[in-house]
Amino acid sequence: MNNHAIYLHVKELLNSQQLTVVHNLLETARYADGRETATAAARDVKNNLQVDMNAPQYGMLQQVILDGLNNSMLLRDAIFPKHVYPFLISKYTDGMEYGWHVDSPLMGNMMRTDIAITVFLNDPDKYEGGELELQSSSGTLLYKFAAGDAICYPCTQLHRVRPVIKGERRVAVSWMQSMVKDAESRKMLFDIQQVIDSLRAVDLQSVEAHLLQQTHSNLLRMWAD
């Protein structure tokens, strides 16, 4: 496993107003079998429902979630999104799950999938079970965050959605191709940016911050494609 992979918890990717819009749209949306968008072996282990891509609500949901993604400085600093695959908006009810699988390396128009993102659309007290579970070099990781929060994780790892025992789990899932292909390089740039932000929090004109910003910019120029 890649020890430099970033598992990024983005708090309030969607604000309360955006969540209200999302919830209203989901109440009237038409759903389809989630297996329709699965490929290869993943189709055999996928059991959920997804908002029909031909439904009028789908495009509106996409726009709301993309607005949240585009406004997240934290996500931009860590991921450097170049392409974002259209979100799949899913729900899991009693007994539904998505078994162990690895995401396809290429999607859509041959977009490379570097980072996956799950945006939680309802609070964890609305359902039992349904945790996103990832296999990592340090062991199993479980994620189940508040409505509006998101988790970004590498596409290279086995993961699953545990069975929902009770209630309804609502999420939006997508995949991103980063401008910086190498995970170690992305992690290095993210660490440098965090130091820059810390220095500027104390002194906006910090000489050290200016020098680090120059280094950050030059590294990004070198590594970006």
pLDDT band at 1 (very low <50, low <70, confident <90, very high): very low
pLDDT band at 164 (very low <50, low <70, confident <90, very high): very high
Query: How far apart (Å, rounded) are the C-alpha atoms in residues 164 and 145?
Result: 15
Domain 8-178 has CATH 2.60.120.620: yes
Q: Where are the domains of the chain?
A: 8-178, 183-223
E strand or H helix at 107, and its extent? strand 106-107
**Residue range 55-71, pLDDT digits in tens:** 999 999 999 999 999 99
**Residue range 19-69, pLDDT digits in tens:** 999 999 999 999 999 998 887 778 889 999 999 999 999 999 999 999 999
Residue 37 has what pLDDT?
86
Residue 153 · residue 116 · CB < 8 Å: yes
**In whole angstroms, how far apart are CA 144 and each of 108, 112, 151, 187?**
28, 26, 9, 24
Query: How far apart (Å, rounded) are the C-alpha atoms in residues 38 and 135?
Result: 20
